[in-house]
Amino acid sequence: MNGSGAMSALAVRELVRQVRQPSRIVASVATPLMLWLFLVGGFSDAIGDVANGGASLTAYTIPGMASLTVMFASIFAAISLIQDRQDGMLRVALVSPAPRWSIALSKIGAGSLIALIQALIILFALPFLGVQITPLGLVGSVLALLCISTALIGLGLAMAWIVDSTQGFHGVMNALLMPMWLLSGAVFPVEEAAGWMRFIALANPLTWAHAAMRWSLGMSDAFNPVLAWGICVAFALFGAGLGVWSIARSRHTR
Protein backbone atom coordinates (compact mmCIF):
# COMPACT_ATOMS: atom_id res chain seq x y z
CA MET A 1 0.00 0.00 0.00
CA ASN A 2 1.16 3.54 -0.77
CA GLY A 3 1.62 5.15 2.62
CA SER A 4 1.47 8.78 1.53
CA GLY A 5 -2.34 8.92 1.80
CA ALA A 6 -2.25 7.45 5.29
CA MET A 7 0.59 9.78 6.25
CA SER A 8 -1.23 12.90 5.12
CA ALA A 9 -4.48 11.77 6.81
CA LEU A 10 -2.62 11.18 10.07
CA ALA A 11 -0.84 14.53 9.73
CA VAL A 12 -4.14 16.34 9.13
CA ARG A 13 -5.47 14.64 12.24
CA GLU A 14 -2.55 16.05 14.25
CA LEU A 15 -3.24 19.55 12.91
CA VAL A 16 -6.96 19.33 13.69
CA ARG A 17 -6.14 18.15 17.20
CA GLN A 18 -3.80 21.10 17.60
CA VAL A 19 -6.45 23.59 16.52
CA ARG A 20 -8.91 22.05 18.99
CA GLN A 21 -6.39 22.27 21.84
CA PRO A 22 -5.33 25.95 21.87
CA SER A 23 -3.85 25.50 25.35
CA ARG A 24 -1.00 23.54 23.74
CA ILE A 25 -0.06 26.56 21.60
CA VAL A 26 -0.18 28.88 24.60
CA ALA A 27 1.96 26.50 26.66
CA SER A 28 4.59 26.19 23.92
CA VAL A 29 4.91 29.92 23.25
CA ALA A 30 4.29 31.40 26.70
CA THR A 31 7.19 29.75 28.54
CA PRO A 32 9.97 30.88 26.16
CA LEU A 33 8.35 34.28 25.91
CA MET A 34 8.30 34.72 29.69
CA LEU A 35 11.84 33.39 30.01
CA TRP A 36 12.97 35.89 27.44
CA LEU A 37 11.09 38.81 28.99
CA PHE A 38 12.02 38.21 32.61
CA LEU A 39 15.48 36.66 32.42
CA VAL A 40 17.05 38.19 29.34
CA GLY A 41 15.27 41.50 29.82
CA GLY A 42 16.64 41.67 33.34
CA PHE A 43 20.23 40.99 32.29
CA SER A 44 20.37 42.94 29.01
CA ASP A 45 21.49 46.30 30.39
CA ALA A 46 24.06 44.72 32.66
CA ILE A 47 25.60 42.60 29.90
CA GLY A 48 25.34 44.92 26.90
CA ASP A 49 26.00 43.77 23.35
CA VAL A 50 27.12 40.19 22.65
CA ALA A 51 28.48 38.27 19.68
CA ASN A 52 31.30 40.75 19.03
CA GLY A 53 28.92 43.65 19.38
CA GLY A 54 26.71 42.37 16.57
CA ALA A 55 23.48 42.34 18.55
CA SER A 56 22.00 43.21 21.91
CA LEU A 57 21.42 40.34 24.32
CA THR A 58 17.66 40.69 23.86
CA ALA A 59 17.96 40.26 20.09
CA TYR A 60 20.73 37.67 20.27
CA THR A 61 18.61 35.34 22.38
CA ILE A 62 15.56 35.45 20.11
CA PRO A 63 16.71 32.52 17.91
CA GLY A 64 17.35 30.57 21.14
CA MET A 65 13.85 31.34 22.35
CA ALA A 66 12.45 30.29 18.99
CA SER A 67 14.30 26.97 19.30
CA LEU A 68 12.99 26.58 22.87
CA THR A 69 9.47 27.04 21.48
CA VAL A 70 10.26 24.35 18.92
CA MET A 71 11.55 22.14 21.69
CA PHE A 72 8.36 22.41 23.74
CA ALA A 73 6.20 21.85 20.65
CA SER A 74 8.33 18.83 19.74
CA ILE A 75 7.87 17.36 23.20
CA PHE A 76 4.10 17.76 22.81
CA ALA A 77 4.26 16.12 19.38
CA ALA A 78 6.18 13.14 20.73
CA ILE A 79 3.94 12.85 23.79
CA SER A 80 0.99 12.46 21.45
CA LEU A 81 2.39 9.03 20.59
CA ILE A 82 1.99 7.96 24.23
CA GLN A 83 -1.47 9.49 24.25
CA ASP A 84 -2.34 7.64 21.05
CA ARG A 85 -1.26 4.42 22.71
CA GLN A 86 -3.46 5.11 25.73
CA ASP A 87 -6.44 6.18 23.60
CA GLY A 88 -6.12 3.18 21.31
CA MET A 89 -5.44 5.24 18.19
CA LEU A 90 -1.94 3.81 17.86
CA ARG A 91 -3.16 0.21 17.69
CA VAL A 92 -5.73 1.21 15.05
CA ALA A 93 -2.89 2.56 12.92
CA LEU A 94 -0.65 -0.42 13.67
CA VAL A 95 -3.20 -3.06 12.64
CA SER A 96 -4.06 -1.16 9.47
CA PRO A 97 -2.20 -1.78 6.20
CA ALA A 98 -0.61 1.68 6.45
CA PRO A 99 3.18 1.37 6.62
CA ARG A 100 4.63 2.21 9.99
CA TRP A 101 6.92 4.87 8.64
CA SER A 102 3.78 6.84 7.74
CA ILE A 103 2.88 7.00 11.46
CA ALA A 104 6.29 8.41 12.39
CA LEU A 105 6.54 10.80 9.46
CA SER A 106 3.02 12.16 10.03
CA LYS A 107 3.98 13.04 13.60
CA ILE A 108 7.24 14.64 12.45
CA GLY A 109 5.61 16.53 9.57
CA ALA A 110 2.60 17.88 11.45
CA GLY A 111 4.59 18.47 14.64
CA SER A 112 7.25 20.42 12.72
CA LEU A 113 4.66 22.61 11.03
CA ILE A 114 3.02 23.42 14.35
CA ALA A 115 6.39 24.06 15.99
CA LEU A 116 7.48 26.29 13.13
CA ILE A 117 4.37 28.47 13.26
CA GLN A 118 4.82 28.95 17.00
CA ALA A 119 8.53 29.67 16.68
CA LEU A 120 7.97 32.25 13.96
CA ILE A 121 5.75 34.19 16.35
CA ILE A 122 8.82 34.59 18.57
CA LEU A 123 11.20 35.18 15.68
CA PHE A 124 9.14 38.03 14.33
CA ALA A 125 10.09 40.05 17.42
CA LEU A 126 13.52 40.62 15.83
CA PRO A 127 12.60 43.64 13.67
CA PHE A 128 11.35 45.37 16.82
CA LEU A 129 14.78 44.81 18.38
CA GLY A 130 16.77 46.30 15.53
CA VAL A 131 17.45 43.16 13.47
CA GLN A 132 15.82 43.16 10.04
CA ILE A 133 14.77 39.75 8.71
CA THR A 134 15.93 39.46 5.10
CA PRO A 135 14.48 36.83 2.74
CA LEU A 136 17.66 34.77 3.26
CA GLY A 137 17.30 35.21 7.00
CA LEU A 138 13.69 34.03 6.90
CA VAL A 139 14.41 31.00 4.71
CA GLY A 140 17.48 30.10 6.75
CA SER A 141 15.61 30.44 10.04
CA VAL A 142 12.70 28.35 8.79
CA LEU A 143 15.09 25.62 7.58
CA ALA A 144 17.09 25.61 10.80
CA LEU A 145 13.93 25.51 12.94
CA LEU A 146 12.57 22.67 10.78
CA CYS A 147 15.82 20.77 11.26
CA ILE A 148 15.59 21.24 15.02
CA SER A 149 11.93 20.17 15.20
CA THR A 150 12.49 17.18 12.91
CA ALA A 151 15.42 16.01 15.02
CA LEU A 152 13.72 16.56 18.37
CA ILE A 153 10.38 15.01 17.38
CA GLY A 154 12.24 12.01 15.93
CA LEU A 155 14.26 11.60 19.14
CA GLY A 156 11.08 12.12 21.16
CA LEU A 157 9.20 9.44 19.20
CA ALA A 158 12.02 6.97 19.78
CA MET A 159 11.83 7.76 23.49
CA ALA A 160 8.01 7.73 23.60
CA TRP A 161 8.01 4.29 21.97
CA ILE A 162 9.81 2.78 24.98
CA VAL A 163 8.36 4.94 27.78
CA ASP A 164 4.84 4.09 28.93
CA SER A 165 3.77 7.19 30.85
CA THR A 166 3.68 10.87 29.97
CA GLN A 167 5.20 11.63 33.38
CA GLY A 168 8.18 9.38 32.68
CA PHE A 169 8.56 10.84 29.22
CA HIS A 170 8.55 14.41 30.57
CA GLY A 171 11.20 13.49 33.11
CA VAL A 172 13.49 11.89 30.55
CA MET A 173 13.03 14.61 27.94
CA ASN A 174 13.57 17.45 30.42
CA ALA A 175 16.72 15.79 31.74
CA LEU A 176 17.99 15.37 28.18
CA LEU A 177 16.75 18.41 26.29
CA MET A 178 17.02 21.27 28.78
CA PRO A 179 20.80 20.86 29.28
CA MET A 180 21.09 20.37 25.53
CA TRP A 181 19.33 23.68 24.94
CA LEU A 182 21.18 25.56 27.67
CA LEU A 183 24.55 24.40 26.27
CA SER A 184 23.75 25.31 22.69
CA GLY A 185 24.44 29.03 22.61
CA ALA A 186 20.74 29.75 22.97
CA VAL A 187 21.29 32.49 25.56
CA PHE A 188 25.03 33.20 25.32
CA PRO A 189 27.71 33.11 22.61
CA VAL A 190 29.40 29.73 22.80
CA GLU A 191 32.63 31.09 21.34
CA GLU A 192 33.06 33.27 24.41
CA ALA A 193 32.23 30.57 26.97
CA ALA A 194 34.69 28.86 29.31
CA GLY A 195 36.83 26.12 27.75
CA TRP A 196 35.05 23.08 29.16
CA MET A 197 31.66 24.52 28.33
CA ARG A 198 32.75 25.44 24.81
CA PHE A 199 33.95 21.86 24.33
CA ILE A 200 30.57 20.43 25.35
CA ALA A 201 28.68 23.03 23.33
CA LEU A 202 30.60 22.24 20.16
CA ALA A 203 29.67 18.57 20.54
CA ASN A 204 26.01 19.59 20.80
CA PRO A 205 24.23 19.57 17.42
CA LEU A 206 21.79 22.22 18.65
CA THR A 207 24.72 24.66 18.88
CA TRP A 208 25.28 24.30 15.14
CA ALA A 209 21.58 24.74 14.39
CA HIS A 210 21.66 28.03 16.30
CA ALA A 211 24.84 29.01 14.46
CA ALA A 212 23.19 28.28 11.11
CA MET A 213 20.14 30.31 12.05
CA ARG A 214 22.16 33.29 13.33
CA TRP A 215 24.38 33.20 10.24
CA SER A 216 21.25 33.37 8.04
CA LEU A 217 19.93 36.29 10.08
CA GLY A 218 23.29 38.08 9.89
CA MET A 219 23.63 38.03 13.68
CA SER A 220 26.86 36.06 13.99
CA ASP A 221 29.53 34.60 11.75
CA ALA A 222 31.55 32.93 14.48
CA PHE A 223 31.06 29.47 12.93
CA ASN A 224 31.71 28.10 9.47
CA PRO A 225 28.22 28.22 7.87
CA VAL A 226 28.81 25.17 5.67
CA LEU A 227 29.82 23.09 8.68
CA ALA A 228 26.91 24.52 10.71
CA TRP A 229 24.36 23.70 8.01
CA GLY A 230 25.87 20.25 7.44
CA ILE A 231 25.61 19.31 11.11
CA CYS A 232 22.14 20.87 11.33
CA VAL A 233 20.78 18.78 8.44
CA ALA A 234 22.58 15.65 9.66
CA PHE A 235 20.98 16.14 13.10
CA ALA A 236 17.54 16.31 11.48
CA LEU A 237 18.16 13.19 9.39
CA PHE A 238 19.49 11.30 12.41
CA GLY A 239 16.51 12.24 14.61
CA ALA A 240 13.93 11.46 11.93
CA GLY A 241 15.68 8.19 11.07
CA LEU A 242 15.76 7.12 14.70
CA GLY A 243 12.06 7.93 15.16
CA VAL A 244 11.00 6.05 12.04
CA TRP A 245 13.26 3.10 12.82
CA SER A 246 11.97 2.80 16.41
CA ILE A 247 8.35 2.52 15.30
CA ALA A 248 8.97 0.46 12.18
CA ARG A 249 11.23 -2.18 13.69
CA SER A 250 8.92 -3.47 16.44
CA ARG A 251 6.39 -6.18 15.63
CA HIS A 252 4.54 -5.63 18.89
CA THR A 253 2.06 -2.82 19.44
CA ARG A 254 3.25 -2.59 23.04
Partner 1 sequence: MSAIELHDLRVVYRRKGEHDRVALDGVSLESDNEMLALLGPNGAGKSTLMGVIAQTIRPDSGERRTPTSRKGLSVVFQTPSLDLLLTVRENLRLSGALHGIAKAEADERIRDIATELSITDRLDEQVRHLSGGLARRADLARALVPRPTVLLLDEPTTGLDIDARRSFWDSMERIRKRHGMCVLLATHLIEEAERSDRVAMLSDGRLVELDTPSRFRASLGSRVLRVAAADGESIHAVDRWLKSMNREVFRIDSGLIVPDAEDVDLQSCPIDQVSLTLAPPTLEDAYAIRTTTGAIS
Q: Residue 26 interacts with partner 1 (CB under 8 A)?
A: no
Q: Choose, by CB under 8 A, the member of 88, 135, 194, 195 that binds partner 1.
A: 88
Encode 108-132: b = buried (16+ Cβ within 10 Å), e = exposed.
Answer: bbbbbbbbbebbbebbebbeeeebe
Instruction: Report if residue 194 touches partner 1, rule: CB under 8 A.
Output: no
Stretch that binds partner 1, among 86-94, 112-120, 188-196, 210-218 (CB under 8 A): 86-94
8 Å CB contact between 153 and 77: yes
By the rule CB under 8 A, 110 interacts with partner 1: no
Q: Which stretch binds partner 1 (CB under 8 A): 48-56, 90-98, 196-204, 206-214?
A: 90-98
Q: Does 91 interact with partner 1 (rule: CB under 8 A)?
A: yes
CB of 253 to partner 1, least distance (A): 4
What is the Cα–Cα distance from 55 to 187, expressed in whole angstroms?
12
Min dist CB 102 to partner 1, Å, is 9
Q: Which residues pair with 50 in a beta bridge?
A: 55
What distance in Å separates the CA atoms of residue 181 and residue 221, rounded to the nearest whole number?
20
Count of residues that interact with partner 1, criterion CB under 8 A: 26
Q: Do residues 22 and 114 make contact, with C-beta atoms less than 8 angstroms apart?
A: no
94 binds partner 1 (CB under 8 A): yes
Question: Is the CB of residue 220 less than 8 Å from the CB of residue 76?
Answer: no
Q: How many CA atoms does the CB half-sphere of 55 hold within 13 Å?
A: 25
Task: Return the residues of window 215-254 that contact partner 1 according to CB under 8 A.
Answer: 251-253
- Whose Cβ is closer to partner 1: residue 6's or residue 155's? 6
CA separation for the pair 223, 231 (Å, rounded): 12
Q: Does 5 bind partner 1 (CB under 8 A)?
A: yes
Q: Which is nearer to partner 1, 95 or 194 (CB)?
A: 95
> What is the DSSP secondary structure assignment for residue 40, as one 8-state letter?
I
Q: Is 6 in the site for partner 1 (CB under 8 A)?
A: yes
For residue 17, state whether it binds partner 1 (rule: CB under 8 A): yes
What does 76-102 look like in DSSP terms, one character per residue?
HHHHHHHHHHHHTHHHHHHHSSS-HHH
In whole angstroms, how close is the CB of 103 to partner 1 at the nearest point? Answer: 9
Contact segment (CB under 8 A) with partner 1 among 89-97, 125-133, 224-232, 237-245 equals 89-97
CB 50 within 8 A of CB 60: yes
Among 21, 52, 174, 224, binds partner 1 (CB under 8 A): 21
What are the residues binding partner 1 (CB under 8 A)? 1-2, 5-6, 8-10, 13, 16-17, 20-21, 87-89, 91-98, 251-253
